[in-house]
A and B are shown apart, each in its own frame.
Chain A
Amino acid sequence: MAEIVLKDLSIEFGAFKAVDKVNLTVKNGEFVVYLGPSGCGKTTTLRCIAGLVQATSGDVLFDGQRVNDLTASERNIAMVFQFVSLYPHLNIRENIIFPLKARGIPRAEIARKLDWVTGIFNLGDELKRYPSALPPGARQKVALARAVIRNPAVLLLDEPLSAIDEQFREEMRWELGHLQRELGVTTIYVTHDQREAMSLADRIVLMSDGRIVQVGEPDRIFLEPENVFAGQFIGSPSMNLIDLTPVDGGLRLGGSNVTLTPASNLIPEWAVASRRKLKLGVRPLNVHLVEPGSDPTAFPLAVDDVFSVGRERFFMFSIDGVPYQGVDKRKTTGGAANAVHFVPDGLLFFDAETGLRVTGDAA
């Protein structure tokens, strides 16, 4: 187990800055998920922590020790990759004990560890089989077993579940979280799937273009995104982002004729008082389509489409030609008149210029 510190870490490939002055502390035993779109530098950071990629500048510290110059094998880490990288010519048993073989560990010890790890992953019946005989999900289990068998100080996982069937992925995700807590191993997990990040992480590190956008517990990032990117990247369906133009006594919704006012729509006073151009961020679950007259804060808005997703019904509306989503809360569909209501607690305001979130305190 180890605490990992990244200090002004930069990684460049020629002129391309893959990682740009990143600072982060991962606590001992913590489960940190690196989240971000493809090419944001999350995998590069992981590989640098592993020792497979050299830092251009800055340091990687394990328990206060600088490890930049240690080779991957000297760092006591284990990795699992997106594509299952079992060795097809070795059977499951040989694959799992592969890391122990390199270290000349006695046979009895290997047998004991193999028992322990096959017990955790329920792989006892598969030991004699070869990887090609196993489904992809089970193969990834073997890869995980191989990773944890020698009690690494740090477990590095690079999108380990993304090549697995949806159905099995849920199960694996649950098992993985359980295993990590049981072993208490410091874990860094890279993914572009925000649902995986939300369900697994103690803390999420949200990255974009080689920089950290926000670090925090999943709930905090969801409820208090620091900027437009964080707001839109996390949450499904994606957050609605609508331009607000200050007008007398209120804020106009884009180019529509709807003006939100503190008095009738419960939007905050400061947002109107600041008189700056803002963007309204409101998640679809906080946009309600209601029967006219049922809610005093509701306002009329044209509805483009209504569709059902199992138990819930969503509706589409558009402002300035941009489509947005909300939840249809009406008891019956198809009424001529429509009213839309924003949940006041669910309104986020972003500066139209910088994209940063603004609150009453800052304004």
Chain B
Amino acid sequence: MSPSRTTTFDLVSRWLIFGLLAVYTLYNIGPVFWLVLSSFKSRMDLFAMPPKLFFTPDFSGYQSVFGVGAAANSASSVGVFDSLVNSIIVSVSGTTLAVAFGTLAGYVCSRFNFIGKGDFMFFVLSTRMLPPVAVLVFYHLMFARLGLADTRFGLTLVSIFANVGLATWIMKGFFDGVPKEVEQIAIVNGYTRMYAFTRLVLPMVKGGIAATAGFCFIFAWNEFAFASILTTTQAKTLPVKISAASGATGLEWTQICAAGVVLIIPVLIFFYLIRKHLLMGMTFGVLGRR
């Protein structure tokens, strides 16, 4: 084969790969693009045929999502703002507590041996294998009796339950990557184990904590199954609200699209912030040195 033919072949395959990737990218970006575009359209522009690429932007969707301006108080507002607040409170507090408990539990599972540790670790993991639908009815009944139904507190509890197992496993992986000599040197020198844990080991796994928090936050933020069953009016989170955002005049597509965009943004920000630690988190820390 002559060099020039090799070059032609390379060129063709390269363009082919570019072409396929471009199609794949469009396939993925398309809906998001449509979503962003629609969130700025008035009802008239939304249903225009053929679809409009250029139009006068209408911010009423965002106004009602963030609870500002005239649109927020109009009859057509479906109260997305309240559900945004609910989502933030439930996700942030649920993530914080799940990561806090998971960090402590992960450290214990990494450093100490106790009877039934293997079974315990499997049980912890199994809480994530469980399809939420399987226990929804039970949760519904329990929450109704305990007065937790349709409360942010109740949803936060669910969020912790759902994520603490994952957090424990990921954090155990990160702690396994910290040599136990780190604590032993400290203990030999007269420091307490608590000092070693809080001042030496924790700073060494802060990247791991960030990655774990990222995962837990995204799971909590996107959680739909529990929130849709356990809330009715007060504690509805954003994903649940979007699924049925009907106002006085039917489905409010502009508001739904604006809420969808708002739903995406924190996830993007979070992934951007923790991108360095993501690979490690996805491999449960096993790529770290042991």
Contacts and interface: CB of A to CB of B under 8 A. Distances in A.
A77 B190 CA distance: 11
A98 B191 CA distance: 10
Interface stretch (B30-38, B178-186, B226-234): B178-186
Given A87-B200, A87-B204, A89-B204, A73 B187 contact: yes
Interface in B149-204: 179, 181-182, 184-191, 200, 203-204
Question: What is the predominant secondary structure among interface residues of chain B facing chain A?
Answer: helix
User: Which bracket fits the contact residues of B?
Assistant: 10 to 19
A98 B199 CA distance: 12
A89 B188 contact: no
Contacts of A79: 184-185, 188
Contacts of B185: 79, 81, 85, 98, 146
A99 B189 CA distance: 5
A73 B188 contact: yes
A72 interface: yes
Interface of B: 179, 181-182, 184-191, 200, 203-204, 289
A52 B186 CA distance: 12
30 contacts: A50-B184, A50-B188, A52-B188, A72-B187, A72-B188, A73-B189, A73-B191, A77-B188, A78-B188, A79-B185, A79-B188, A81-B179, A81-B184, A83-B179, A83-B181, A83-B289, A85-B181, A85-B182, A85-B185, A87-B182, A87-B200, A87-B204, A98-B185, A98-B186, A98-B189, A99-B189, A99-B190, A102-B186, A102-B190, A150-B189
Interface in A85-120: 85, 87-89, 98-99, 102-103
Contacts of A85: 179, 181-182, 184-185
A77 B182 CA distance: 16
A298 to B, nearest CB: 54
Contacts, number: 53
Interface in A1-58: 50-52
A4 to B, nearest CB: 16
A103 B189 CA distance: 8
Nearest to A78: B188
Counting chain A CB atoms within 10 Å of each CB, the highest count among B181, B187, B189, B203 belongs to B189
Contact of B181 (A81, A98, A102): A81
A89 B206 CA distance: 11
Given A81-B181, A83-B179, A87-B182, A102 B191 contact: yes
Contacts of B182: 85, 87
Contacts of B181: 81, 83, 85
